[in-house]
Amino acid sequence: MNSTILISLAIFVFALGFRFYSTFLSKKVAEIEDTKPTPAVEFNDRVDYVPVKKWPLFFYHYATIAGAGVIIGPTLAAQYGWLPCLLWILAATCLAGGVHDFMVMFLSVQHGGKSIAEIAKSEVGRISWMVVSIAVYFMVVVAIAGMGMGLLSALEHNPQSTFVVLCTIPIALILYLCESFRLSTIVSSVVGATLLVLIVIIAPVLYDAGLLAPLDLSRSQIILLLVLYASAAAILPVDKLLVPRNRLSGYLKVLIVVLLASLLLFMMMAIRMPSITDYAYVGGPIVYGPLWPFLFIIITCGAISGWHTLCCSGVTPRCISKRSDIRMVAYGAWLLESMIAVVALTLACLLYPQDYFAINSGPNVYATLGMQPIELPKLSNILGFSIEGKTGGVVSFSISAAKVLATLVGEEHLRQLYLFMVVYTAIFIMPIIDSGTRMGRYFIQDALGITAANPRRWWASTLILTFTMVSLWSYLLLTGTISLIWPTFGICNQLLASIGLMIATAYILRKRPPIYGLVTFWPVLIFASASIHGAIIKILYELLPLGTIAAYIQTAILLLFTTLFLATLIDASRVYLKNLTRKV
């Protein structure tokens, strides 16, 4: 097996999904017509509601939804072998993840660009509205903890990577200044990309000169930096840091995935990971649990994403100029993100299994596997530091991607390429940390009816909610491991996506023939059953036996999410029966 076959198969299946299934969703399920104006046209205020052409909006939305989960999940799931991972990504992307994003964005447009919580109130009831608001808050906590774990491993005692990632913050502020002086978006983006490349080039030089020694930071020190960054970014106006940084990251996300996919497509690189490993039956050394249900839980964002429930009912629906654009913007952008999942899976499987497990397993666990690294000593020598035991998926993705890119410019540049790929994954993670902290606060404030009209109450709630959220995810980062936190995130992520699909089902049963309700409800049966089954296994056999505070916090979050899902299911079932009875 080689990379060409995997990438070719993904492109073929995704093309079929877009051509036929998204057309079916648009014409038969949603019955989209351009004769009715969108909220962007109807309420155009040039601030929140602004009509944007299809392709610029496509890339904006892609930059918004593409998070680190789509890299980390498939990378960790490779412990089961490439075949089950690939089959699940391809099938679930076209038949579940794309359906979820399309229907949530369509519903938001139908409801005047409102959020998923407001849609839940309209389509199902107040219980579901409160459930979504609470679920979003805790979803952000586990998302930041899960994705931040990979970033921690990449930065811990690695001054070069820490320096480069920290430099992305002043670069974003420079982009803001460029735009303040009314430079075009293209010019400011070129400035940002140039600065980023220069930083990557000079980082090894500064390190070799001993100038980066102060950035040789421990785990707790890096967490403190992330806490300070997230707290500031969650309160600052979005145009100062988030908007310019996200615009630059959006371009990089597209360019790098296209470049990597092209190289993997044409260079026929050997896949070294078995199609199915023995860990598929008994659970692996990276993440506890067998193929069912943990393959679905670990891959998570590579197949469906609850995070997209927020993104597809946020800014983007208020910018749709024609309803027919939803097909490309929602379903199409999801396919492009899922291509990252296939690329990440392929990169993980290009590594020798001995090296893959040496990076992604803890040293004590790896010592029990009876394996010896093959290329890692050489790679560590080139990089100037060891990458063994750097769990979390970020390091193995970065080094494998750097090796692929080195086929273009030479292995002597592997060090710089690795640093660049660490930054590349960091720009997937940083928006989750800052935007997620802000978004979780928004939903709770909206649910409690707190607005800026009452400054004292608004600022008090902002500080309290931000402090609570940051305290929770920083504690999980400080005390947890990727093998503990990532499945918790995957379970919560899939349950939130299932809630979004249940809300869409309520709309379909009200407006369309009942048979179409299966389009959105059958994925709920699979994802919810896998998530609840996985939660039970994880709580009984992993978290409770640990007996730590962090384990109890994760147990509480899993029980809370399961309860919230069941509450929504009961609430939605009432609406389903009402709509079905009305049509009989």
Q: Is the peptide bond before 293 cis (omega within 30 degrees of 0)?
A: yes
Phi, psi of 312 (to 5 degrees): -80, -5
Q: pLDDT-derived band of residue 472, with 50, 70 and 90 as boundaries?
A: confident
Tokens of 77: 């799931």
For the chain, what is the mean pLDDT? 88
The pLDDT of residue 584 is: 53
Sorted by sequence, the CB contacts under 8 Å of residue 254 that are 6+ apart come out as 59, 62, 63, 336
Structure tokens at 223: 């967490």
Average pLDDT, integer, range 283-293: 89
Most confident of 14-18, 30-34, 383-387: 14-18
Return the DSSP state at 454. S
Partners of 2 in the β-ladder: 270
Task: Write the DSSP assignment of 224-279 as a string of letters.
Answer: HHHHHHHHHHTTS-TTTTHHHHHHHHHHHHHHHHHHHHHHHHHS-PBP-S-SS-TH
Of residues 493 and 310, more confidence is placed in: 493
Residue-level pLDDT at 243: 64
Mean pLDDT of 565-573: 92
Give the percent of the chain with pLDDT over 70.
95
Show the tokens assigned to 561: 């999410």
Instruction: Express each pLDDT in 334-354 by its tens digit.
Output: 999 999 999 999 999 999 999
pLDDT for res 505: 96
Binning pLDDT at 50, 70 and 90, where does residue 273 land? very high
C-beta separation of 313 from 108 below 8 A:
yes
From residue 72, alpha-carbon distances to 119, 389, 391, 396, 584 in Å are 31, 15, 10, 10, 47
pLDDT above 90 covers a percentage of the chain that reads 44
**Amino acid identity at 207:** Y
Residue 239 has pLDDT above 60, yes or no: no
Q: Are 450 and 461 in contact (CB under 8 A)?
A: yes
Could you tell me which CATH number the domain at 3-157+217-583 has?
Answer: 1.20.1740.10
Q: What is the pLDDT of residue 66?
A: 83
Only one residue has tokens 């969650």, namely: 234
Q: What is the pTM of this model?
A: 0.90
- Are 565 and 498 in contact, with CB atoms under 8 Å apart? yes
Confidence category of residue 244, pLDDT binned at 50, 70, 90: low
User: Mean pLDDT throughout 266-283?
Assistant: 93
Partners of 91 in the beta sheet? none
Q: What does the pLDDT average to over 288-310? A: 90
Instruction: Give me the amino acid identity at 174.
Output: I
Q: Which residues, 6 or more positions from 200, have their beta carbon under 8 angstroms from its beta carbon? A: 164, 416, 419, 420, 423
- Highest mean pLDDT among 11-20, 197-206, 228-237 belongs to 11-20
**Distance of alpha carbon 459 from alpha carbon 463, whole angstroms:** 6
Name the least confident of 95-99, 249-253, 488-492: 249-253
Q: Which amino acid is residue 574, in one-letter code?
A: R
What does the angle CA 35 – CA 38 – CA 42 come to, to the nearest 5 degrees? 105
- Of residues 93 and 440, the one with the higher pLDDT is 93
What Cα–Cα distance (Å) separates residue 80 from each residue in 76, 84, 391, 400, 529? 9, 7, 16, 18, 20
For residues 89-99, give the mean pLDDT: 96
